[in-house]
Amino acid sequence: MASADAPATPVKKAKVKHSAELPVESPIRITTRKPDKHLASRDQFTIVNDFTADLMQTNIGENNNKFYIIQLLQSTQSRYLVFTRWGRLGDVGQQQLVDCGDSLDKAMQLFEKKFKDKTKNNWCDRYAFVKRDFQYQLVELDASESGDGGGGGDAAMGKLSAAQIEKGQAVLEKLKTAIQQDPNAVTALSGEYYSLIPTLSGRQRPPPLTTMERIEEKAALLGTSAFALSKPCTSENRQAIRKYFSYLRVFLEAMCRMPQKEQTLWRGVSVDLFDAYEEGKIITWWGVSSCTSDENVARNFMRSCGGSCTLLRVKCKTAMDISVLSMFPGEKECLLAPGTQLRVLQRVRHGNIAEIDVEEVGRAI
């Protein structure tokens, strides 16, 4: 599950001039990004510097919802290759691997040519990227993205950066105005939103965002906003929530429109809650609480935190399943509203892991 802290806006990187000699101090090396997960024997390759581009194009009128991935790779034999994969979002699609031998210069030229062919932008200008009509949009992924997203798979293009999500939010604001003042612009703006915030739609065309309800739903489900909201919700300084009142209203209204059901959920957290969660105690979760219906998802997140952690099993009455709307449907994410109250049923400790059972008993707001 995602962290409750909103990711920081990425630091703008210096432009990279084309050169066969990569300056050590110039581009920021993406150390966590792996080659595309659908590349055979990908463990034999590494991405050269930051030469990886995730592109997306949605045209609702033409039922286009397609991705294009470009990566410049170096093999364990010190050969340079350019990998591309493309297709409809959600499909594995097609792929190509071009071997440029020991020539880094040749590989860089090919990478930059493919990038310009698809976007009409130069690679060296990517930090001032301008979306061109009928061309691909550059999608900025979070620095923690491992490379296991992208086209096929549950995470669509991968975990988006905070800046990318902010761009999507800006388009939603344009859509609110367009619905009232320029309905003819709604379809194009909807395509712009889906290009920035890749969304799986199967073989169907992505639905135009033609109503305020749909826009509010998208705004509520852009995960970074929910997590940014959680911090002031849980702060002892209640004044910190004031600037979020408008968003909180929209968020709660969107949640009220969603079906709620009784089910058991799981939540993994990176702190030890054993002492705080005494049996019989009523706990209030003031933040927007993200849980999962898949125990393995919660356990895997908990293990990835390292150190002491807690696994909560939550017997819910008002769980809202957002997995079909999420950018990460494989996480089987469900939300609990701010102010959800829970009674602690039992707790047990296994080494550095606290396992706690709670049940929903009401809501404080």
Boundary-marking domain end, from 183, 210, 244: 244
Q: What is the number of domains present in the chain?
A: 3
pLDDT at 58: 96
Q: Are residues 148 and 172 in the same domain?
A: no
Q: Are residues 128 and 48 in the same domain?
A: yes
Tokens of 198: 């890749």
Q: Are residues 154 and 176 in the same domain?
A: no
Q: CATH number, domain at 336?
A: 3.90.176.10
Q: Are residues 173 and 152 in the same domain?
A: no
The length of the chain in residues reads 365
Reported as a single tens digit per residue, the pLDDT across 163-173 is: 888 899 899 99
Q: Are residues 321 and 356 in the same domain?
A: yes
Q: Are residues 157 and 178 in the same domain?
A: no
**Region for residue 120 given its phi and psi (left: phi exceeds 0; alpha: psi -120 to 50; beta: otherwise):** left
Q: Are residues 173 and 157 in the same domain?
A: no
Q: CATH number, domain at 187?
A: 1.20.142.10
Boundary-marking domain end, from 183, 209, 244: 244
DSSP string, 116-133: HHHHSS-GGGGGG--PPT
Domain assignment present for 25: no
| Residue 195 lies in domain | 164-244
Q: Is residue 14 very low, low, confident or very high in pLDDT (cuts 50, 70, 90)?
A: very low
Reported as a single tens digit per residue, the pLDDT across 48-99 is: 999 999 999 999 999 999 999 999 999 999 999 999 999 999 899 999 999 9
CA angle, residues 225, 317, 228, in degrees to nearest 5: 10
Q: Are residues 46 and 157 in the same domain?
A: yes
Q: Are residues 49 and 125 in the same domain?
A: yes
Tokens of 105: 């210069």
Boundary-marking domain end, from 215, 244, 273: 244
What pTM was computed for the model? 0.60
The residue-averaged pLDDT of 307-315 equals 91
